[in-house]
A and B are shown apart, each in its own frame.
Chain A
Amino acid sequence: MAAMWLGIILILLPFVSALLLLTIAKWKADTTGFVMWIFVIILALTYFKTNAGVIFLASIAGFIKSYPIALMVCTSIFMITYMQKTGALDRIIIAFKTLGGEGKEPFQIMFINIGLGCFLVSIGATPVTMLPPIMVALGYSSMAAVALPAIGYDPLTTFALLAIPAVIFQSVISKLFGGLYPSLAECGFIFSLFMPIVTTGIAFGMMFIAGGKKLLFQKNTLIFASVGGVTAGGTSILVNGLAKLLANDGLVQLTGLIVGLFTCIMMLLLAKIMGYKIFDRSNLTEADLEIEKKMPLWKALMPWIILVVLCGVTNFVPQIHSYLFNTLAMNIKISGANPIPLRVFWNAWFWVIIATVISMPFLGVKKGILKDSLRTWAKRAIRPVFSAAIFFSIAFVMNWSGATGAIDSATGLWIRLPENNMITLLADISAIVFGNFYPLIVPFIGLLGGFVSGSETSAIAMFTQYQFTTGKNLGLLDKSIVVLGAANGVGGGLASVLSPAKIQNATAVIDKQGIEGDVIKKTSPIALLMTTSVAVLTLCWVNRYAWYYWIAAFAAEICLLLILYLLVMGVQKLLKKRTALKQTAQATAEEKKEEESK
């Protein structure tokens, strides 16, 4: 038992050091990941007695496995850089600026940060760099202008970049189940069932960030936040439910896009009903009007329009989908690791390149724009790409730790000794310590993975096998195990708002570097609150509780949070009182001194 605990401490050590490197030393995610990888390799070689060749090849296999996300990051940065250099991005930002809503905060917050945020992130654009300048132009404080776009798309990170996190999750977990179960549509549906609670919670949290209690309890705020949150969450359930019903995986990939559009439409409708003036050009400056004249909006949107059409064709025409997905799967086998299908012509990153190339005649390639775009892209892309890939390598080394180097002739996979495997050890201890309450900690594990790696996909890659093994140890049903994995992913997505790298990008675009700490301080309680709600939901769902247990669990959560809130407020008041007393004592002492000297 002592050896088991020592093992657990050793496994947690790289994660703790990564946390310290990110928060105290302020390292970037890629260098942190690299150090973490070295740490994990040393552990695997020494304590977990893994074959050196297996470690090397597993790292390469993990790197290649990350390509759907790593190359999507790479190509979407290229697309956005090209759009920026041609002026298309500025034109789109100006169009967003006109959607002012006459200074109606709840409408603006929901429309821009949740509606547009979800739409943009699903197509590969980054709301954290595009939306803060718009929020500043609309009159929001720097802190709100950074925090709101960072938190707005958070619930739907699972469906970001054409649902790459969900695609990766399905490929990892279906392999663990033997290949047939669950399908992408089934995974998407399970993820989507978490959404309404998270989107609505985030919507109210955003209102609190923007205007405190005063804005939060206004009638309009309550209407916009609840309608917006329920629309975003409800639409994701509808889309994924339909995908499951029709057995059409392609729909899952368009979830973020459809949710963004539906939320925007719903917010516009609500604003119309309430008699708001939706289009407001008074925010536009002289420079904005100049840019507006240069390019029509349809031209600026061309790369995204082409991308949506191409993704629609490759996913909704069954013959094309089957040819690209199955016939051209391009499986590669690296020694004793599971085969990795590259699916170059099905993956979204390939179609991002095609959409960018097709849009070139519309946006232009003159005056060295292409050369300039390529140069900027090369500078911007490499670190995020490596950062996306290295955490997959870490995950693969952890998953294959304890492998002796021999290959099982029946399965073609490396033989692992369970007593030397990091994941088995983590799963065994988790099952012993937490038992049936294990689902409560799963979203927090995802949150840790998401914070350390800065990505939900990496959190999924690192911890899905851990959730699977623990679920099996606890004797859970297959569906409950998928729920555990999905909860881990949702937790990873909620970490987006805490990720220093993302907040830094947002502060940089409005020249307010240095406020990252304040932003994280404001957003972290919301992220933690949402993770706690996801934890309670997971506990009830995985253990298949009766309805009255659900009510009791959520009531207990609310009571606990209330007590915690009162405690924090009490401590804050006490501290304030103490400082006030100290100040008065100091003042009287000084007065006394003055009198004495007189």
Chain B
Amino acid sequence: MIAEILAYISVGIITLAWLIVVIHSMVKTLMAKRKAKQTTSGEELE
């Protein structure tokens, strides 16, 4: 019974950790893209 509970918990932890990592990397990429866009438009204005 304990092994079963631990197994369920481990599935939850791994999935949650993966979701955090993926969302974090997606946000990072989006921010970098936005920054690059802002820089280019800034340069164009100059």
Partner-B contacts on A (CB < 8 A): 30-31, 60, 63-64, 67, 70, 330, 332-334, 342, 379, 382-383, 385-386, 389
User: Is B22 touching A64 in the complex (CB atoms < 8 A)?
Assistant: no
- State A389–B15 Cα separation when bound (angstroms): 10
Across the interface, which residues of B come within 8 angstroms of A31, CB to CB?
22
The smallest beta-carbon distance between A37 and chain B, in angstroms, is 11
Q: Judge whether B14 and A382 touch: CB under 8 Å.
A: yes
- Is B11 interfacial (CB-CB < 8 Å)? yes
Contact between chains at A332 and B7 (CB < 8 Å): yes
Whether A64 contacts B7 by the Cβ 8 Å rule is: yes
CB atoms of A30 and B7 under 8 A apart: no
The answer on a CB contact under 8 Å between B11 and A63 is yes
In the complex formed, the residue of B with least CB distance to A71 is B10
12 A-B contacts, Cβ less than 8 Å apart? A30-B22, A63-B11, A70-B14, A332-B7, A333-B4, A334-B4, A382-B14, A383-B22, A385-B14, A385-B18, A386-B15, A389-B14
B45 to chain A, nearest CB (A): 32
Q: Compute the total of residue contacts between A and B using a CB distance below 8 Å.
A: 35
Q: Contact at B22–A60, with CB atoms within 8 Å?
A: no
Is B17 in contact with chain A by the CB < 8 A criterion? yes
Q: Is B21 an interface residue (CB 8 A)?
A: yes
- Say whether B21 contacts A60, CB under 8 Å: no
Given known contacts A330-B3, A332-B3, is B18 in contact with A60 (CB within 8 Å)? no
With a cutoff of 8 Å between Cβ atoms, the chain B residues found around residue A330 in the complex are 3
Give the chain B neighbours of A63 by CB distance below 8 A. 11, 14-15
Q: Give the interface SS of chain B, mostly helix, strand, loop or mixed.
A: helix
Chain B: CB-nearest residue to A70: B14
Return the chain A residue nearest B11 by Cβ: A63
Residue pair A382, B21 in contact (C-beta under 8 Å): yes
Most chain A C-beta atoms within 10 Å of own C-beta, residue among B7, B8, B10, B22: B7
Q: Assess A64 versus B11: contact at CB under 8 Å? Given A332-B3, A332-B4, A382-B21.
A: yes
A60 touches B14 (CB 8 A): no
Do B3 and A60 touch (CB < 8 A)?
no
Bound Cα distance A514, B3 (Å): 45
Chain B residues positioned under 8 Å from A70 (CB to CB)? 14
Q: For residue A332, which residues in chain B have a CB less than 8 angstroms away from its CB?
A: 3-4, 7
Question: Which residues of B are interface residues toward A (Cβ below 8 A)?
Answer: 3-4, 7-8, 10-11, 14-15, 17-18, 21-22
Instruction: Tell me how far the C-beta of B12 lies from the nearest C-beta in chain A, rounded to whole angstroms.
Output: 9
CA distance A14 to B2 in the complex (A): 36
Q: Identify which of B7, B11, B14, B17 contacts A342 (C-beta below 8 A).
A: B7
Residue of B nearest to A389 (CB): B14
Q: How close is A466's CB to chain B, nearest CB, in angstroms?
A: 25
CA distance A314 to B16 in the complex (A): 33
Q: Among A30, A334, A342, point to the contact of B18 (Cβ < 8 A).
A: A30
Whole-angstrom distance between the alpha carbons of A210 and B3 in the complex? 50
Contact of B21 among A334, A342, A383 (CB under 8 A): A383
Do A60 and B17 contact each other (CB < 8 Å), given the known contacts A330-B3, A342-B3?
Answer: no
Chain A residues in 8 Å Cβ range of B17: 382
Q: Which residues of B contact A60 (CB under 8 A)?
A: 8, 11
Smallest CB-CB separation from B3: which chain A residue?
A330
CA distance A382 to B8 in the complex (A): 17
A334 to B8, CA, bound (A): 10
Q: How far is the CB of A457 from chain B (nearest CB, A)?
A: 16
Q: Which residues of B have CB within 8 Å of A389? A: 14
B21 surroundings in chain A (CB, below 8 A): 379, 382-383
Query: A476 to B3, alpha carbons, bound, how many Å?
Result: 38
State how many angstroms separate the Cβ of B5 from the closest Cβ of chain A.
Answer: 9
Q: Once the chains are docked, how many angstroms separate the CA of A389 from the CA of B7?
A: 13
Q: Which residues of A contact B4 (CB under 8 A)?
A: 332-334
Asked whether, in the complex, the Cβ of A383 is within 8 Å of the Cβ of B18, the reply is yes
B3 contacts across to A, CB distance below 8 A: 330, 332, 342
Nearest CB to that of A332 among chain B residues? B4
With both chains docked as a complex, state the minimum distance between the C-beta of A170 and any C-beta of chain B, in angstroms: 21
- Distance of B2 from chain A, by nearest CB (Å): 9
B22 surroundings in chain A (CB, below 8 A): 30-31, 383
Known: A63-B11, A386-B18. 20 other contacts (CB 8 A): A30-B22, A60-B8, A60-B11, A63-B14, A63-B15, A64-B7, A64-B10, A64-B11, A70-B14, A332-B4, A332-B7, A333-B4, A334-B4, A379-B21, A382-B17, A382-B21, A383-B22, A385-B14, A386-B14, A386-B15
